[in-house]
């Protein structure tokens, strides 16, 4: 495994009963990059993410994190590895009965042996990093707007100072202005904190604004993994339809104009 690779997936096969989602899927994630993952509905984007972080057990294949084969780790090694990443699940998945501060403290309670006061202080720091004001800390998720809930979920994903951030449809359901601000926040965090970001998204503006490379899932595997300017020249029909359609062309023009 090359030193610049932080995640490598080889020959992944995932299935539910007789339904095969991935078959021979390979993926490489470079250290410090923002990698977007796209694909049609049912292509298995979230299944891939859940396989990498260990929520799903693949039927076959190998997943390496920093050169270490995930399936061969001991329980303690796996727990230490999982502390190195944060996950923003689709729709946020915040605990509805807990305040924002308590949501952010939840991973700390599980993995850190520090005082409650220090946990609360660290949680407030993460809340601020995610772009929320101090008044949000004591609120329940139901009291927040959609954009604020996304930021609260991001704060929880940052709770353990991760090296890798996994984001599942982070701008879904946000209006264009809120989505653009969230994109800017992710890019700023990746640069200032040195994060590697793996992001599932359908948002063409997001892909153009912050992704260094984009991996495309089709035909049960990754058919391309390249910068956007290379992808737009890829001959595969799905890629041409996705990036060459009216929305794709508009996002490309907007992205070019902002650079």
Q: Measured between alpha carbons, how far is 49 from 175 in angstroms, rounded to an integer?
A: 25
58, 123, 139 from 116: Cα distances, Å: 38, 10, 18
Instruction: Report yes or no: 252 and 246 within 8 Å, Cβ to Cβ.
Output: no
Write down the pLDDT at residue 251: 53
Using CB atoms within 10 Å of the CB of residue 97, give its burial: 0 to 12 exposed, 13 to 18 middle, 19+ buried: exposed
Which residues, in sequence order, are bridge partners of residue 221? 218
Using CA atoms of 11, 203, 89, 236 in order, give the dihedral in degrees to the nearest 10.
-10
The answer to whether the pTM exceeds 0.85 is yes
Write down the pLDDT at residue 259: 46
Write down the pLDDT at residue 137: 95
Coil, strand or helix at 208: helix
Write down the pLDDT at residue 210: 92
Residue with tokens 């965090």: 189
Contacts 24+ apart (CB under 8 A), 116-124: 122/159, 123/155, 123/159
Write down the pLDDT at residue 248: 54
Residue with tokens 């890798």: 164
Task: Please give the CATH topology (third level) of the domain spanning 5-84+162-258.
Answer: Rossmann fold (3.40.50)
Length of the chain: 259
Sequence-separated (6 or more) residues with CB below 8 Å from residue 164:
6, 7, 84, 85, 86, 195, 196, 197, 198
Ordered per-residue pLDDT tens for the chain, 259 residues? 566 899 999 999 999 999 999 999 999 999 999 999 999 988 999 999 999 998 899 999 999 998 889 888 888 888 888 888 999 987 668 988 999 999 999 999 988 889 999 999 999 999 999 999 999 999 999 999 888 898 999 999 999 999 999 999 988 888 888 889 999 999 999 999 999 999 999 889 899 999 999 999 999 999 999 998 898 889 999 998 888 765 555 555 555 555 4
Instruction: Report yes or no: 249 and 203 within 8 Å, Cβ to Cβ.
Output: no
Coil, strand or helix at 125: helix
């Amino acid at each position: 495994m090359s030193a610049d690779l932080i995640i490598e997936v080889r020959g992944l096969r995932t299935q539910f009963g007789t339904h095969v989602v991935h078959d021979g899927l390979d993926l490489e994630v470079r250290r410090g990059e923002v990698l977007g993952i796209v694909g049609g509905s049912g292509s298995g984007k979230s299944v891939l993410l859940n396989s990498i972080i260990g929520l799903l057990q693949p039927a076959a294949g190998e997943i390496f994190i920093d050169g270490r084969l995930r399936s061969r780790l001991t329980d303690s090694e796996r727990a230490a590895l999982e502390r190195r990443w944060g996950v923003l699940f689709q729709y946020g998945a915040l605990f509805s009965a807990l305040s924002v501060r308590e949501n952010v403290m939840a991973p700390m309670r599980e993995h850190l042996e520090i005082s409650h006061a220090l946990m609360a202080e660290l949680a407030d720091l993460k809340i601020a990093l995610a772009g929320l004001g101090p008044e949000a800390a004591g609120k329940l998720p139901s009291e927040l707007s959609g954009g604020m809930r996304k930021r609260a979920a991001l704060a929880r994903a940052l709770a353990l100072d991760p090296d890798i951030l996994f984001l599942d449809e982070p701008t879904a359901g946000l209006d264009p202005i809120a989505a653009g601000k969230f994109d800017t926040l992710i890019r700023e965090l990746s640069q200032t904190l040195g994060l590697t970001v793996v992001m599932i998204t359908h948002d063409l503006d997001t892909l153009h604004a912050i992704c260094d490379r984009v991996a495309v899932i089709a035909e049960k595997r990754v058919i391309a993994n390249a910068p956007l300017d290379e992808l737009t020249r890829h001959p595969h029909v799905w890629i041409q339809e996705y990036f060459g359609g009216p929305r794709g062309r508009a996002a490309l023009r907007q992205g070019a104009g902002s650079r």
